[in-house]
Structure 1
Amino acid sequence: MTAVLPAPTDRDVYTEQHHALRTRVRAFLAEEVVPEYPGWRSAGSPSRRFWQRAGEIGILGIGIPEEYGGRSDTGFRDSAVVTEEIQRLGLAIGGLRVQTDICVPYLLHAASERQRKHWLPRLAAGETVAALGISEPGAGSDVKAMQTRAIRDGDHYVVNGAKTFISNGSIADLLILAAKTDPGRRRDGISLLLVDTHTPGFHTGRKLSKLGLEAQDLAELSFADMRVPADALLGEEGAGFRYLSTNLAAERLSIAVNSQAAASAAIGWTIERLAGTKPGQDVKFTIAGCAAQVAAGQALIDRAMTRLIAGTLSGGEAAAAKLYCTELQGRVVRSCLPLFPPGEAYRASSLIGQAHLDGRVSRIYGGSSEIMKVIISHDLGLSS
């Protein structure tokens, strides 16, 4: 099995530093997260204690320079290690990746020194939870169509509008908010604001009930004459769409890593479940076919990570990784599910059953599979 699905220690993309991190994360998840996880599913989000402990053991400091309270010499591969270990146990803690892989890079690349000093140490320590506010009720994938407005009024912006499907939305202390500061300029009129969620006029709406991802917070937000200080502007006014686009390749690769790890975990659980039995040829062939596909996905992921670290990962390559691995996740879990006894696979406590529900949305968020195909076709020179 190792020859087909290499162990992490056999993958060239990881170093001894990453293997040491994996050992610490695996122990943390097994000893502190797994016992609490059923309560998170009931509550609809991880406990605040989780964020504090994740900060204490260094998970939330990944990618953040030491001068801001983070861990030096860490980056995307460290986040990938954490993701792989989370999926190995069948946990849904996507809000963690939202903070480390999506929100933190905006602060690193576009924030002022004052903003970095204020927010990054709090994020690294787990004192602050971050969310990204883009999606709106009437403007899902079309960012340019957003209706939330942030109109300059002296030394403040007055914000009105609403967001939906916001991961970490109900627990966030910091919202990186996309809003139109110049509505007439479409995408060139979008800006990003760093919003303290305790600001008057900030309202948290419903926690959204989901098909799967029960322990991951998802909420509606609204803003009614919310006054945000002008110095909370992230980077340049009108540059929000450019900032949102800059990190898309890494965000999509993060989703791909999660899906790849989920597919690999599903095969592992299935083989463990069949241990001591004599599976028929059809079962063997099903697992063999899944294993070959997962091995191909792993090669694609490791190549993409190497190119991301080198600064050469293209949008088309990231889209290809997301397309392949998220679709792979669905195929593999769907193939493994019938290999478990029905009385086991369809129980709420079933890892494989929950994985079937949790995995469906990965083909939608971060850009649907259809959008990924559009990007790949453009990269191939097939644009009209």
Structure 2
Amino acid sequence: MSSHVDVQNEEIEMFRDMVLRFLEQEVTPHYEEWEKNHHMPREMWNTMGNAGMLLVDFDEKYGAAGASFEVCQMIQEEMCRMNFHSLATGYNIHANIVAPYILNIGTQQQCDRWLPGMASGEVLTALAMTEPGAGSDVAGMRTNAVKDGDDYILNGSKTFITNGNSADMIIVCAKTDPSLGAKGISLFLVDTSLPGFSTGKPIEKIGQHSSDTGELFFENMRIPADSLLGEEGQGFVYLMRELPRERLGCAVQAIGHAQGALDITCEYVKERKAFGQTVSQFQNTRFKLAQCQTDLELSRALLEKHMDKYKRDEMTVIDAAMLKLAATEMQVNTVNECLQLFGGYGYTDEYPISRFYRDARVQTIYAGSSEIMKEVIARGILGR
């Protein structure tokens, strides 16, 4: 057992060195400009693909690295630790969410068509669930797909879709039988080059500025019947089955991000002076940082527990909800305390803690808000 663990840790550290070099060379010199322009170049995905960073835990037959699940999570954690949360959010959708949907639910033909391009970066993907009038209430979605011969006719709209403006393929949730509510939802692999697809103006956000967040429109869009992912009417079941990995990814990002914020704050308070001593010598500073570090380690322990359960296919929807709730709330609280210790400088764009602060806030909202997570947990322990 220990030798297996040693090999696994060695693999993670080997990949970590590669990831850190890549981020320093390909992201650090440009990231400020991307954030300022509210845009990350589409070519960046090809660059990541060429470096072997996309779909790392997928089989080599798809052009992937064949690494462990932990390596995929480590990449997101390091991106967030280095304050590249916008990049990590898009990465999480493409490599940690959409790809497993296709692998776990799709046909071999669908896997062969999409996964190699996703691994190389030639194909960028998104997942479209949320609508203007239906966020966490999936059953309330209005986008519909009507069977017509060998095709489906897709109509509707989606909003707040990460990677939405740049995506080449999007998993779209649509009603195939509106009379059945949540049981009438199906999933489709939608090629965005087909007629009838369009995007709105990129959505401007409080934070994660260079993350592509789009509004999507489907107008009498004819998609082939083999675009159906899995079985018709099973979309809600698939969503519930795959959501735990998405929420686990959010927790990984939260922990990396909180660690990065703590690291730069510890350095700052040891240098900044007030009333004749460094800020780190004040008891308030020391106690605040001690509490933040403790909260971070508690979330890290919970993450490790549930990552092990995920690998054994034992992680439940309730487990994922507790993990996301705990980790993202910890992230927001930690970054808030860190910014406070920077004083007025923390509120300026000149200091990176301000971006840590902005980028963290949405983590308690997307992939299921903290309130929805509490409802999921409550139903699990009390029943409906």
| Mapped partners of 1:61, 1:224: distance in 2 | 31
**Aligned partners of 1:341, 1:143: CA distance in 2, in Å?**
42
Change over 3 Å in CA distance of 1:135–1:12 after alignment to 2? farther
For structure 2, the 5+ residue unaligned runs are 272-277
Matches within 5 A, 1:295-306: 295-306=297-308
Contact 2:55–2:96 (Cα < 8 Å) also in 1: no
Taking the aligned partners of 2:19 and 2:72, their CA distance within structure 1 comes to 11
Report how many residues are paired. Answer: 371
Matched residue, 1:260: 255
Residue of 36, 42, 46 corresponding to 1:52: 46
Instruction: Please report how far the alpha carbon of residue 14 of structure 1 lies from its aligned counterpart in structure 2 after TM superposition.
Output: 5.8
Q: Does 1:233 align with 2:228?
A: yes
Q: Does 1:148 align with 2:149?
A: no
SS of residue paired to 2:281:
coil
The letter for the 2-side match of 1:104 is A
Q: Which runs of 5+ in 1 are unaligned?
A: 1-10
**Over aligned residues, Cα RMSD in angstroms?**
1.6
Question: Quick one: distance in 2 between partners of 1:211 and 1:12?
Answer: 42
Find out whether 1:87 has 2:69 as its counterpart: no
Q: Output the CA distance in 2 between the equivalents of 1:274 and 1:126.
A: 41
Offset, 1:121? 0.3
2:238 corresponds to which of 243, 256, 273: 243
Deviations 1:30-63 (A, max 9, x none): 1110111123213433212211111112111323
- Counterpart check, 1:353 vs 2:349: no
Equivalent position SS for 1:60: coil
SS of corresponding position for 1:170? coil
Distance in 2, Cα, partners of 1:196 & 1:377: 39
- Tell me, in whole angstroms, the C-alpha distance in 1 between the residues paired with 2:325 and 2:8: 23
TM-score, normalisation: structure 1: 0.93
Residue 376 of structure 2 corresponds to which residue in structure 1? 375
Q: Check if 1:67 corresponds to 2:68.
A: no
Q: Is the 8 A contact 1:13 1:302 kept in 2?
A: no
1:233 deviates by 0.9
Whichever residue aligns with residue 355 of structure 2, its letter is Q
Q: Give the distance between the partners of 2:304 and 2:267, measured in 1 at CA.
A: 26
Deviation at 1:378, TM superposition (A): 2.5
- Tell me the residue number matched to 1:201: 196
- Cα displacement (A) at 1:13: 11
Q: Which amino acid aligns with 1:206?
A: K
Q: Distance in 1 between matches of 2:61 and 2:306?
A: 29
- Of the candidates 323, 327, 332, which is equivalent to residue 334 of structure 2? 332
The CA distance in 2 between the partners of 1:330 and 1:358, in whole Å, is: 9
The offset of 1:360, in angstroms, is: 0.9
1:134 aligns with 2:129: yes
Q: Does 1:26 align with 2:20?
A: yes
User: Percent identity of the aligned residues?
Assistant: 40
- Return structure 1 stretches of 4+ with deviation > 3 angstroms: 11-14
